[in-house]
Each structure stands twice: as structure tokens, then as C-alpha cells.
């Protein structure tokens, strides 16, 4: 790619909330790319991850996908694990105090985070660092000097703190340390580029740039990524809301969930969670607009690309074939888990034993809604003995072959 193509590729999917700010970051990115080429060095790029949860969904991977794009262009990528910042918890996207994690919880989550991240990042080209390496050794005097760059007003006027302040909820002093710590991370890594979500605007474009300048380093450029909507196409993807697409699943499940998103969400998904370049995304949008590409076919391409990027092209092709067989030909998957029926088991027993429902109440609700079928026939009574062998279907995508 030439410089213009690189800038377009790396700015794809970004959101700054202000066009002037976006243009300023784009201009700086272009200049830094040219400078790095002249100096014969890669850009130093990083994103920090506080491992507060062990399981990731598609929304968590947006910044990882952007890091992978920098890797493809030959730049140096650091996957920074916030084992020290996790002890506070980033308040940027929360209107309540985050619970503090123990070091043991952070360590375990960090291990699984890295394992999942390498489904996207090239492990041979990724540097893994932990910010306790430098943050744990800062003296109180050094923290005072760093904090002198900020005012109380800058923190209490931030939307999340402001909401709590107005409700009379506590805003703890240690929460204001987070932005300072993240800013120092950028300095310690001498980062050219810092990648983050829109909830990181203050931390990246105010705290980090201010501290790096204060400490005599060239300020990093912020690549601020849009937020991915969930399968409803509207609300931010969240496990607690049930609109998420887990990455620790399988090709069939991921394919089916991507196919369930509204048509209007396809452009956002295309920009944020695929390997597609801007010209590919633009071409698809034009084809959808002029009617030369049916939305169903576009979504199938999107689902196959997402699955392929996590599980490989072979599994993506199989997931697509299974989806076509199931939903377009009204058939069942060629392969499915097998379960041996135990004597005396009820319908609800079998659902729970196969983790097809989360709870007894969830099972009863699905049965009442005709969402549980055996060989195509709805099962009506949750406490009735299980009828016998056959293909058990729960919802649209979950199948188990029950055998005697």
C-alpha cells in the first residue's frame, strides 16, 4: 500500500466525535508514517487491556483487529496487559465504581485474554508487556509531578464522573489515577500510536499526550475505534444484555449470530471486525445501494469472513454450508453433539444435561414458546418423560442427537 492507502486502512472504523479532531489525528498519522519510512523504522503501536473478565466477545476484539492491521504493514505491536491498572479498574465507560480485582484474578484473566487475542494477532510479531513493570516502581514524588498536569475540573466534568456527582454517588480519588497511569504507560512504551475505544478519548488524547509532552517525548497518536453494536444492531455489545457474539464458541454458532444482525448494522461490522480493506467495504455498500447485491448474500459474505478470521476458511465454509442446509433448505446439521438418554429423564432434565438452557425457568419458558422440538415436533410438557431418541432442537441453532 502507498501512504494514502495505509492511512485509509488504519483510519477505517475510527470515531472521534469531532471531525476536526479526526482530521488532526489523520494528518499526524500520515506524517508519522512518512517519518518512520524515512528513518527506516516501524511505528511503535500498542493497546492496553485490563483483564477484568476471562471471556471475550466480538466487541472486545475491535482494537485487536486494528493492531493486526498495523502488524500487516510491518509495525511493532505491543499487547499491554494492565495487571497494575486492573487493581483500580478503568472508570471511563462506567457510571458506578468498578470492583477491585485481586492480583490472582488479574493473573488468571490475563492468561486467557492473551490466548484469545492470538486468534487475531500474529504471536510471532506481538510483544506482550505488563504495566506493573513501570507503574509499581513510581514514587510518590513522581506521582505528584505527573498529577500536577491535571485539574480536578477535568475529571469531574467527564460524563461518567459527572453523572455520579449529580446523583450524590461517591467518586473516589483513586479513580482519577487511572488516566494518569494510562498516560504513563504510553510514555514508558514511547508509543507512536495508541489504539482504544471511544470511551478512551480522554485517557489517550488528553492524559497520554499531555504527559508524554511533559516528560519530553513526542505525543502518541490516538486511533479511536467505534463501538460495536450487539446482535440487536443498536445497543453496545454486552454479555450482560445477551446481545453478544462470544469468540470462544464455534464456527456454526458465530456464523448464525452474525446472520442474525439487522441489515443496517452490516457496514459497521464490516469496518470493525473483518479483514476487509476500505475499497472492499465501499464496493459492498455501493452494491447494496444499487441493488446488485442482495442483503442476505452480503450478510453471508460478512458472516463467512468473520468466522474465517477466527476459525479458518475451511470451518467458515462448513458453517455456511450448515447454515444454508438448516435455514434455507429447512434441514438439520450434518454433524451435531450426541447424548445418551438416561432412564427416567424428563424433557427439562435433558435440556439441562446438555447445557441447552441456562436454568429450569429458562427451559420452561422455551417450552412454553414452542422453542423445543424433537424431530420437528414441539415438546409441550417440561416435566414429561423424554419421548425417546431423535434430533433435539432448541431455538434456531442448537441441536443434539439423542440416542438410547
Domain positions in the chain are 3-225, 251-328, 338-403
H/E stretch holding 46 reads strand 44-49
Residue 198 has pLDDT above 60, yes or no: yes
Task: Categorize the per-residue pLDDT at 191 as very low, low, confident or very high, splitting at 50, 70 and 90.
Answer: very high
CA dihedral 325, 330, 334, 335 (to 10 degrees): 110
User: Region 237-245: what's the mean pLDDT?
Assistant: 82
Which of these ranges, 18-27, 131-140, 151-160, 311-320, has the smallest mean pLDDT? 151-160
Q: Which range is least confidently modeled, 37-46, 61-70, 120-129, 229-238?
A: 229-238
CB 207 within 8 A of CB 150: yes
| Domain topology for 3-225 | Rossmann fold (3.40.50)
For 42, the 3-state DSSP assignment is coil
**Cβ contacts of 387-390, under 8 Å, gap ≥ 24:** 388/341, 389/341
Q: Is the pLDDT of residue 29 over 80?
A: yes
At 160, the pLDDT band (50, 70, 90 cuts) reads confident
- Sort 183 into a burial class: Cβ within 10 Å, 0-12 / 13-18 / 19+: buried
Helices 251-259 and 313-323: crossing angle in degrees, nearest 10, is 60
- Does residue 54 have a pLDDT over 70? no
| Residue whose C-alpha cell reads 490472582 in the numeric block | 104
Judge whether 92 and 160 are in contact, CB under 8 Å: yes
Rounded Cα distance between 103 and 120, Å, is 26
Please give the grid coordinates belonging to residue 173. Answer: 480519588
Number of helices (H) and strands (E) in the chain: give both, helices first: 18, 10
Among 151-165, 169-183, 194-208, the minimum mean pLDDT is found in 151-165
Stated length of the chain: 404
CATH topology of domain 338-403: 3.10.290
> pLDDT digits over 100-132, tens only?
677 777 777 777 788 888 889 999 999 999 999
- The answer to whether 208 touches 194, Cβ cutoff 8 Å, is yes
What is the model's pLDDT at position 93?
Answer: 45
Q: Name the range with the highest mean pLDDT among 71-80, 247-256, 322-331.
A: 71-80
pLDDT digits (tens, 9 = 90+) for 281-301: 999 999 999 989 888 899 999
Q: What are 290's three cell numbers?
A: 444499487
Residue 91: per-residue pLDDT: 53
Residues 189, 129: contact at Cβ < 8 Å? yes
The CATH H-level superfamily of 251-328 is Tyrosyl-Transfer RNA Synthetase (1.10.240.10)
In 3D, which of 343, 352, 345, 334 has the Cα closest to residue 401? Answer: 334
Q: Has residue 183 got a pLDDT over 80?
A: yes
Instruction: Mean pLDDT check: name the lowest of 223-227, 238-242, 266-270, 344-348.
Output: 238-242
Amino acid at each position: 500500500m502507498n501512504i494514502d492507502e495505509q492511512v485509509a486502512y488504519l483510519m477505517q472504523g475510527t470515531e472521534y466525535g469531532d471531525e476536526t479532531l479526526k482530521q488532526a489525528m489523520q494528518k499526524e498519522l500520515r506524517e508519522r508514517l512518512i517519518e518512520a519510512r524515512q528513518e527506516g523504522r516501524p511505528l511503535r503501536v500498542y493497546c492496553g487491556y485490563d483483564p477484568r473478565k476471562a471471556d471475550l466477545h466480538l466487541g472486545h476484539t475491535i482494537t485487536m483487529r486494528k493492531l493486526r492491521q498495523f502488524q500487516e504493514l510491518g509495525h511493532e505491536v505491543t499487547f499491554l496487559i494492565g495487571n497494575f491498572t486492573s487493581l483500580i479498574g478503568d472508570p471511563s465507560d462506567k457510571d458506578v465504581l468498578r470492583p477491585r480485582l485481586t492480583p490472582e484474578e488479574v493473573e488468571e484473566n490475563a492468561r486467557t485474554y492473551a490466548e484469545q487475542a492470538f486468534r487475531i494477532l500474529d504471536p510471532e510479531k506481538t510483544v506482550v508487556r505488563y504495566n506493573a513493570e513501570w507503574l509499581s516502581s513510581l514514587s510518590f514524588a513522581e506521582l505528584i509531578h505527573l498529577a500536577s498536569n491535571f485539574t480536578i475540573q477535568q475529571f469531574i466534568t467527564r460524563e461518567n464522573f459527572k453523572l455520579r456527582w449529580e446523583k450524590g454517588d461517591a467518586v473516589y480519588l483513586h479513580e482519577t489515577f487511572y488516566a494518569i497511569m494510562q498516560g504513563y504507560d504510553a510514555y514508558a512504551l514511547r508509543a507512536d500510536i495508541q489504539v482504544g475505544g471511544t470511551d478512551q478519548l480522554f485517557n489517550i488524547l488528553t492524559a497520554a499526550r499531555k504527559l508524554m509532552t511533559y516528560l519530553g517525548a513526542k505525543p502518541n497518536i490516538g486511533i479511536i475505534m467505534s463501538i460495536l453494536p450487539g446482535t440487536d444492531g443498536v445497543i453496545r455489545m454486552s454479555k450482560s444484555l445477551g446481545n453478544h457474539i462470544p469468540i470462544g464458541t464455534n464456527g456454526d454458532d458465530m456464523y448464525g449470530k452474525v446472520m442474525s444482525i439487522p441489515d443496517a448494522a452490516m457496514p459497521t461490522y464490516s469496518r470493525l471486525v473483518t479483514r476487509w480493506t476500505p475499497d472492499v467495504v465501499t464496493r459492498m455498500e455501493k452494491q447494496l445501494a444499487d441493488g446488485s447485491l442482495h442483503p442476505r448474500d452480503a450478510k453471508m459474505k460478512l458472516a463467512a469472513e468473520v468466522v474465517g478470521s477466527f476459525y479458518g476458511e475451511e470451518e467458515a465454509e462448513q458453517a455456511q454450508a450448515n447454515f444454508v442446509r438448516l435455514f434455507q433448505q429447512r434441514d438439520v446439521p450434518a454433524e451435531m453433539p450426541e447424548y445418551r438418554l438416561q432412564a427416567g429423564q424428563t424433557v427439562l432434565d435433558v435440556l439441562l444435561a446438555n447445557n441447552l438452557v441456562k436454568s429450569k425457568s429458562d427451559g420452561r419458558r422455551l417450552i412454553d414458546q414452542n422453542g423445543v422440538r424433537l424431530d420437528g415436533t414441539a415438546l409441550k410438557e417440561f416435566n414429561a418423560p423424554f419421548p425417546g431418541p431423535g434430533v433435539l432442537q432448541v431455538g434456531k441453532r442448537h441441536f443434539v442427537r439423542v440416542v438410547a
